């Protein structure tokens, strides 16, 4: 699928606008078929989100316009207004949710790493003192593996989350400020 790229006029800092168009048969294609509520409350279809994600993978830049094409003569302005608002809110809210999750995992990773280093420093100091009583030995035995565990778990949090969630985070980052438009296809449309 060829994706048109349009440059906005301007003397400096021209912004590239990427349009993505998807054909849908009805407005119901956007929403879950198992949810009987109105468009303002219905859950979005996993198939629709997957299709948007699939198309966006082909495009490495931020998607500025998502154009949904419905059959000519079936357009309904009020439905389109509601759907536009729902999609924009969905993409923005998912971005916010993933960002908060990303931040909390990173903070937890830093705390674990610092705690692990602290326990290893304590274990090193106890080993340096070379005290022979039971409680010091017990503290040394507990703090050495605990320190290593917390240190490596913290580093794992810092590295693994970003790798496992990167694609999803990239998708919602690029879609968070998307402008949703509607158009028609079929007889009598352009």
- Write down the pLDDT at residue 116: 96
Distance from C-alpha of 108 to C-alpha of 103, rounded to nearest angstrom: 9
- Write down the pLDDT at residue 109: 93
pLDDT digits 0-9 by tens, 136-178? 888 888 999 999 999 999 999 888 876 667 788 888 888 888 8
Within 10 Å of residue 172's Cβ, how many Cβ atoms?
21
- 11 pLDDT band, cuts 50/70/90, is very low
| CA torsion angle 27 171 86 22 (round to 10) | -20
In angstroms, what CA-CA distances link 28 with 25, 52, 65, 80, 166? 8, 15, 20, 11, 30
Tokens describing residue 72 = 């000519």
Distance from C-alpha of 158 to C-alpha of 165, rounded to nearest angstrom: 12
- CA terminus-to-terminus distance, the chain: 18
Within 10 Å of residue 155's Cβ, how many Cβ atoms?
15
Of 92, 143, 86, 94, residue with least CA distance to 117: 143
Within 10 Å of residue 48's Cβ, how many Cβ atoms?
17
- Write down the pLDDT at residue 187: 66
3-state secondary structure of 6: strand
> How many Cα atoms sit within 13 Å of 122 on the Cβ side?
19
**Residue tagged 């409680």 (tokens):** 135
Q: Is the pLDDT of residue 47 over 60?
A: yes
Averaged pLDDT, 89-94: 91
**Residue tagged 């509601």 (tokens):** 82
- Write down the pLDDT at residue 4: 40
């Amino acid at each position: 699928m060829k994706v048109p790229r349009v440059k906005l006029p301007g003397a400096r800092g021209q912004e590239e606008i990427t349009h993505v168009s998807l054909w849908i048969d009805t407005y119901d294609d956007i929403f879950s078929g198992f949810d009987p509520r109105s468009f303002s409350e219905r859950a979005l279809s996993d198939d629709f989100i997957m299709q948007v994600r699939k198309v966006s993978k082909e495009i490495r830049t931020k998607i500025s316009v998502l154009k949904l094409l419905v059959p000519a003569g079936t357009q309904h302005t009020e439905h389109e207004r509601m759907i536009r608002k729902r999609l924009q809110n969905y993409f923005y809210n998912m971005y916010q949710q993933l960002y908060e999750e990303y931040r909390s995992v990173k903070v937890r990773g830093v705390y674990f790493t610092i705690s692990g280093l602290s326990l290893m420093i304590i274990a090193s100091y106890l080993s340096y003192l070379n005290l022979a009583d039971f409680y010091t030995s017990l503290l040394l035995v507990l703090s050495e593996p605990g320190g290593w565990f917390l240190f490596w778990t913290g580093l794992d949090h810092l590295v693994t989350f970003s790798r496992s969630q990167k694609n999803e985070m990239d998708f919602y980052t690029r879609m968070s400020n998307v402008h949703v438009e509607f158009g028609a296809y079929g007889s009598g449309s352009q």
